[in-house]
Amino acid sequence: MKLTTLNLQGFTDWNDRKPEIVAYLTATQPDIIMFQEVVYLPGISTHNQVQLLNQDLQYTYEHSSITRLQPSHEYNVFREGLAFLSRYPVLKTDTIILKKAQGDEHNRIVQLIDIQIGADVVKLANVHFSLTDFTDYATAHLQETLDIIKSRGEERIIAGDFNIDHLEDLSGIWGEDYDASTKVEYISFPAMGKRNDYVLVPKGLQLKHLSTSGNSLSDHRAVTVEIELIPALATARN
């Protein structure tokens, strides 16, 4: 299975960036695409960016969770969230709001996705955690997401914008159960030379290959991984 994650940066410079995003995804041909900073701004478009992209990409399965009202200096109402595209059948989705710490101006969510690949059900989580510039909100969001998944007795591939510069430093909270894209050297936020975008793969599955896009898609680079699904472990445990 090939999976891509990309923070879309809202509608900033959209007319210039949209063809670059379509070209990259057409060339890369991921099976699953997870997007962050997906926005609904009716003053700009009656569709969010993923809906507009899919008019060209033509993925069979599309789902958006535009569930957050965001503070904005430019727009009176700024609605934002997560979305994904899939070539595989989607069995169900769920969106859970994460706890909001005092001082965090953002309401963050995790988008849970169950897809069917052959005889197996593969479970995924699309995430975008809060910024950690002054206060470390992101680590708490990561821990909560891991706790939610574990409490359900599930194994999920977790991908998205973690807003954590060195995820490997937090291996104490995920390393027992997951392998991470951190084993590959890459940059996903080039303006600051950071690696904020990651994929965590349940142990037993194999992260075979990782590549990133150029800088023209967004302020983030797309991260694309190939994951080998071992049937006995890819089937979800309920």
Amino acid identity of 113? I
Instruction: Give the whole-angstrom CA distance, residue 98 versus residue 127.
Output: 10
**Residue 182 DSSP class:** G
Residue 73: its pLDDT value, please? 62
CB 96 within 8 A of CB 67: no
Strands 206-212 and 197-202: unpaired
Residues of the chain with pLDDT under 70: 69, 71-77, 132-134, 231-238
Residue from 44, 38, 115, 111 nearest 81 by CA? 38
User: What pLDDT was estimated at residue 134?
Assistant: 64
Q: For residue 226, what pLDDT is reported? A: 98
Residue 42: what pLDDT? 86
All domains of the chain, ordered by start, with CATH? 2-234 (3.60.10.10)
pTM: 0.93
Q: Note the pLDDT of residue 67.
A: 84
Interacting residues of 87 by C-beta distance below 8 A, sequence separation 6+: 31, 32, 59, 60, 61
Residue 107: per-residue pLDDT: 87
